[in-house]
Amino acid sequence: MTQQLALPDGQVIPYQLCLRPRKTVGLKITASGLVVHAPHRLPAAQLAQVLQDKAHWIQSKLALRAAMTEPPMQWQSGEALWWMGQPIVLALQPGGRQQAVRLEGAALVVPTPEPDNLALTARKVLQWYQRQALPDFSRRVQLVATQMGETVNHVALSNARARWGSCNSRREIRLNWRLIQAPPQLIQYVVCHEMAHLREMNHSARFYAELRALYADYLAAEAALKQWSNKLHRMA
């Protein structure tokens, strides 16, 4: 039977629950998602606790599996990339040592002295994404902060595998640089989610009321973000 695991960060993970004559809970990630093998007599609350304790493991395994379903990066000219929800294409420019990586129309032009050095190309592309991401995210955070009448002490990029953002009691916001590949409304959703945590450091009804005031259609955005997850995790 299909069950749902609601995680503290708001993610809801569907899973198959199989009751078995066994003593411990077993978790498996399959092509169709999370499968939980549990003893027949295990109280629901105890199972819920086991799953919450394993939440990080579950999320990272699911993200890994999702990333694996996308073709691996080749880092060659013609490679399809995403930028703010739009498809763009990698264009290596051999020889250009001094020139900067830049977006020209729908081409990400990457000057490189060594077009066959995949690690070098990857580094240049990732740096470019990260350099674009921080000012965009910072501007969004500042706009939402103004709208809320709140202050933020620091905005930084994160490289987490299974989290899109975080907010702490020191009023520091971290946002996953991979989001800059996604449509702007999804970036905005994650910004609003983290900003709502300035007021409610949990996922209570009060938190969702704050979030709804900032981003009304947050459920659709959460669902869309899951759809995008594979694409956004293609780059290491």
Residues that bind Zn ion (CB under 5 A): 9-10
Could you tell me the smallest distance in angstroms from the CB atom of residue 14 to Zn ion? 19
Tell the smallest beta-carbon distance from residue 135 to Zn ion (Å): 23
Q: Which is nearer to Zn ion, 80 or 201 (CB)?
A: 201
Q: In the complex with Zn ion, which residue's Cβ is closer, 37 or 226?
A: 226
Least CB distance to Zn ion at residue 82 (A)? 24
* In the complex, least distance from residue 10 CB atom to Zn ion, rounded to whole angstroms: 5
Pick 121 or 229: Cβ nearer Zn ion: 229
Q: Are 179 and 190 in contact (CB under 8 A)?
A: yes
**DSSP conformation class of 181:** G
Write the CA distances from 101 to 90, 95, 115, 126, 203, integer angstroms.
10, 13, 13, 10, 40
CB of 39 to Zn ion, least distance (A): 32
Backbone angles phi, psi at 39, to 5 degrees: -65, 150
Q: Which is nearer to Zn ion, 99 or 204 (CB)?
A: 204
Residue 194: CB minimum distance to Zn ion, A: 7
- Name the residue nearer to Zn ion (CB basis): 38 or 162: 162
Q: Which of 70, 200 has the CB closer to Zn ion? A: 200
Distance separating alpha carbons of residues 40 and 23, to the nearest angstrom? 9
| Contact criterion met (CB below 8 Å) for 88 and 108 | yes
The 10 Å CB-count burial string (b at 16+, else e) for 146-178 is eebeeebeebebbebebbbbbbeeeeebbbbbb
Q: Which long-range contacts (CB under 8 A, 24 or more apart) does 139-142 make?
A: 140/187, 140/188, 140/191, 141/173, 141/175, 141/191, 141/194, 141/195
